[in-house]
Structure 1
Amino acid sequence: MPFEPDREVPGLIVKFGDYPLHHGGVGAIRSLGRLGVPMYAITEDRYTPAATSRYLEKAFVWPTTGTEEPERLVAGLLRIGRRIGRPAVLVPTDEEAAVLIAEHRVELGARFLVPPVERGLPRRLASKQGLHELCVEHGIPSPTAAFPESYDDIVAFADKARFPVVAKNREAFVRRTRPAVNGTTRIGTREGLLALARDWGERPAVILQEYLPREEAEDWIVHAYFDADSTPLAMFTGVKVRSWPPHAGMTANAYVVDNPELADLAARFIKQIGFTGIIDLDLRFDRRDGLYKLLDFNPRMGAQFRLFENESGVDVVRAMHLDLTGRSVPEGEQRAGHRYIVENIDLPALLAYRRSGYTTPHAPGRASGTELAWFAGDDPLPFLTMLARFVRPGAKHLYQLWRTNHRGAAAH
């Protein structure tokens, strides 16, 4: 491998909320741990998949909801930093963690290494409204959207809208409290929208967005790491083949596909807004007008980041650790054609996509290699722990996710 990481600087996986079956955190532990970097993680309990990885030095058991006061979370991180005993690179796995770290970088900087991102930028990017406003400001294509402030606004929107439309929670963090909708919800009729909206309260915390038809669209992803000057040190593009819930959830199956146009679009936007750190973007290519439309901006590593690695062995987490420890980040072409599979959700996704007849034209006919989210021959316990925790409650949860998505798509 053409680089040497600083093995004196550990990494700490930071996650807030109760989602123990998170393959992204396991991937980050393995990615840096295989290089000899000491790895630590915040976990819900001692028996999460991440806590069982052979590459983890120690799991700090700290159950959180993600709705705690920021001061409490910062104090908890500083306590963990003191227990580690030396500066560590923070690797957030959710928006709550990424926003907290950015907004309290001064306090956390005494114990940790973090990208010098503008204090309020991650919160704005994680917000559907904030992201839409930034896209409009900088000329980045995005779906047409409305942000109703009352039920009357929704009625006015419904009278003019072309259905179906999509409803999403306006702020990323509301999923921890009382979300108005369960993720991305497709609404087919005016009556369906007004019926749902009656439960959204006086100040609806939703965004209403144009629907991009599946048969006329392709789902693309961009993962990258940007330095303090907003210059990409690692940039990757890929196409999403399947997600769960279908067409609206987390990536279940994806391929690396070279897309210079998409990479240029992402790099230009990041330079314009001055972001630094890891990004995970979801875009939809609209064949009707030939535009890539930005749907989601995650100011942190994405759960499927291990899909992407360049020929020098660099992924976005490794790029961040190298950069924040003063190492150079070696360049290299991405491993085109590589495939990523999340074992516990790709099978139900495959069955759902076969029923719908949906295909992804840009997916290679044959993979050049496959990265599994959970199973690894050199680190089998996370996979076995995932199976033990997933089989019964996981199957029930998958069914509930599918039913929620199905009702949103069909009943309205």
Structure 2
Amino acid sequence: MPFDGDREVPGLIVKFGDYPLHHGGVGAIRSLGRLGIPMYAITEDRYTPAALSRYLRRAFVWPTTGTEEPERLVEGLLRIGRRIGRPTVLIPTDEEAAVLIAEHQGVLRGPFLFPKVDAGLPRLLASKQGLHDLCVEHGIPSPAASFPQSYDDVVRFAEKARFPLVAKNREAFVRRERPAVNGTTKIITREGLLTLARDWGERPGVILQEYLPREEAEDWIVHGYFDQSSTPLALFTGVKVRSWPPHAGMTANAYVVDNPELADLAARFIKQIGFTGIIDLDLRFDRRDGQYKLLDFNPRMGAQFRLFENESGVDVVRAMHLDLTGRAVPEGEQRVGHRYIVENIDLPALIAYHRSGYTTPHAPARATGTELAWLAGDDLRPFFTMLARLVRPGTKHLYRLWQTNRRGSSAGSGKRPGSTDSTTK
């Protein structure tokens, strides 16, 4: 490794909610742990993959749902900080954690280290409406969207809408109340839209968005870390080959692909809004008009961040730790052609994509190297723990994989659709 991290400053994986099979947290533990940095994590129990990593010094077992009052979550973080006993870099893995840290910077700063950011910006970016408004304000392409305020608004919209279209929950924090839709839902007909809308209540918490047909589009990823002046210290671009659920969810298979145009677009947007910290962006290139359209802005580490590392060995988590501890972040070109595979979801995704006949035009014919999300020769226990939890009696994980694949493209035809998205990429 061409550089050393500050081994006196630990890292803490911060996650709220019940999703124990999260490979991003395991990746961050390994990434910093391999540099000799003490790593801690909040886990659902003592037998999650993250809790059993050889690079984790201690798991703080704290089952949460994401619906707790912020004051309770802040107090829990402070309690963990006191037990660690020294300033610790916070590494959020979900929007709830990223927003909580940003909105309570005053009380958390001291026990913890994290990028200083405008307190309201992460919540705004995590919101579909907030992100859409920022894109319009700063001239960043995004899908056309409507934000109905009532059922009558939906009816009026349906009269002139072009189908199919996509419905998403307007705000990121759908765990606090019953979500209007279970993730990104493709709606095929006017009748399907009106049928769904009857369950959305007096004030529908949805965004109705232009559908970008996968036959005319490509899914791209941007990851980066930006310092206090919103300057990128690490910036990467890649193409998503497969996701689960298909075409709308968590990355299952992806490659590093140079895309200077996309990198410049992301860097310009970050500079305009003044964001600081780690970003994980999803964009869809629309071949019909030649534009990269921003779909999602995750103001935190993405689960697939280990796809991206430069020639100096820097990923976005290492870049953040180096920057927050006052160390230079080594420069280097990204590893073009490197591949990332999430073992437990890429197989069902492969089957689904094979059925659809969809291929990614920019995916390299051959990988220059492959990183697996779970299996690592120097840290085997997370992989076998993942397998054990995947197949243990009573688990819902395999059933959900089957159910999502079975639903396929029938969502929005008038029947109640299921989820075609994931909240923890």
TM tier, smaller: over 0.9
1:401 positional shift: 2.9
Does the CA contact (< 8 Å) of 1:65 and 1:176 recur in 2? no
* Local SS of the residue matching 2:51: helix
What is the SS of the residue equivalent to 2:218? strand
Cross-structure match for 1:164:
164
Contact persistence 2:196–2:414 (CA under 8 A): no
Alignment correspondent of 1:290:
290
CA distance in 2, matches of 1:208, 1:176: 21
Give 1:395's aligned amino acid.
L
Look up the match of 2:132: 132
2:421 corresponds to: none
Q: Secondary structure at the match of 1:334?
A: coil
For 1:160, give the aligned amino acid. K
Aligned counterparts of 2:130 and 2:78: Cα–Cα separation in 1: 29
**Could you tell me which of 399, 402, 408 is aligned with 2:402?**
399
Residues 7 and 81 of structure 1: CA distance in aligned 2, closer, same or farther (over 3 Å): same
Q: Report the CA distance between 1:110 and its aligned residue.
A: 1.9
In the alignment, is the contact (CA less than 8 A) between 1:24 and 1:93 conserved in 2?
yes
User: Corresponding residue for 1:373?
Assistant: 373
Contact 1:2–1:312 (8 Å) recurs in 2 = yes
- CA 1:325–1:405 in structure 2 vs 1: closer, same or farther (change >3 Å)? farther
1:387 corresponds to which residue? 387
Q: Distance in 2 between matches of 1:153 and 1:270?
A: 33
Is 1:52 matched with 2:52?
yes
Report percent identity of matched pairs: 84
Paired residues for 1:37-186 under 5 Å: 37-175=37-175, 177-186=177-186
Write the letter of the residue equivalent to 1:398: L
Alignment-derived partner of residue 303 in structure 2: 303
Give me the whole-angstrom Cα distance separating, in 2, the residues matched to 1:119 and 1:405.
Answer: 39
SS at match of 1:202: coil
Q: CA deviation at 1:177?
A: 3.2
The secondary structure found in structure 1 opposite 2:365 is: coil
Deviation of 1:318 (Å): 0.2
Using the TM superposition, give the Cα deviation of residue 399 of structure 1 relative to its aligned residue in structure 2, in angstroms: 1.6
Contact 2:189 2:414 in 1 (8 A): no
Count of residues in correspondence between the two structures: 412
Residues of 2 paired with 1:299 and 1:274: CA distance? 12
- Alignment RMSD: 1.0
Does structure 2 retain, via aligned residues, the 8 Å contact 1:42–1:62? Answer: yes
Question: Which structure shows the higher helix fraction?
Answer: 1
- SS of residue paired to 1:375: coil
SS state at 2:148 partner: coil
Q: Secondary structure at the match of 1:346?
A: helix
Quote the offset at 1:410 in angstroms: 5.6
* 8 Å contact from structure 1 (residues 10, 89) kept in 2: yes
Aligned to 2:418: none
Q: Give per-residue Cα distances to partners, 1:262-287, cap 9 Å, x unaligned.
A: 00000000000000000000000000
SS in 2 for 1:261: helix
SS in 2 for 1:52: coil
- After TM superposition, give the deviation of residue 195 of structure 1 in Å: 0.3
Aligned residue for 1:56, secondary structure, equals coil
CA distance in 1, matches of 2:412, 2:250: 17
- The answer to whether the Cα contact below 8 Å between 2:191 and 2:413 also exists between their aligned partners in 1 is no
Partner SS for 2:140: coil
For 2:23, the equivalent position in structure 1 comes to 23
Alignment of 1:242-261 (within 5 A): 242-261=242-261
Do structure 1's residue 317 and structure 2's residue 320 form an aligned pair?
Answer: no
Q: Measure how far apart 1:41 and its partner are.
A: 0.0
- Mapped to 1, the partners of 2:325 and 2:15 lie a distance apart of 22
* Alpha carbons 2:192, 2:412 under 8 Å: kept: no
Q: Structure 1 stretches of 5 or more lacking a match? A: none
1:405 Cα deviation (Å)?
Answer: 5.1
Per-residue deviation, 1:156: 0.6
For residues 409 and 305 of structure 1, what CA distance do their matches in structure 2 show? 32
Give the conservation status (yes or no) of the 8 Å contact 1:242–1:253. Answer: yes
Cα contact 1:90–1:113 (8 A) shared by 2: yes
Alpha carbons 1:185, 1:405 under 8 Å: kept: no
Tell me, in whole angstroms, the C-alpha distance in 2 between the residues paired with 1:130 and 1:225.
21
Structure 2 runs not aligned, ≥5 long: 416-425
State the Cα deviation string for residues 345-370 of structure 1 (Å, max 9, x = none).
00000000000000000000000000
Q: Deviations over 1:310-351 (max 9, x none)?
A: 000000000000000000001000000000000000000000
Tell me which residue corresponds to 2:420. Answer: none
Question: What TM-score, normalized to structure 1?
Answer: 0.99
SS in 2 for 1:295: strand
Per-residue deviation, 1:248: 1.0
2:281 pairs with 1:281 = yes
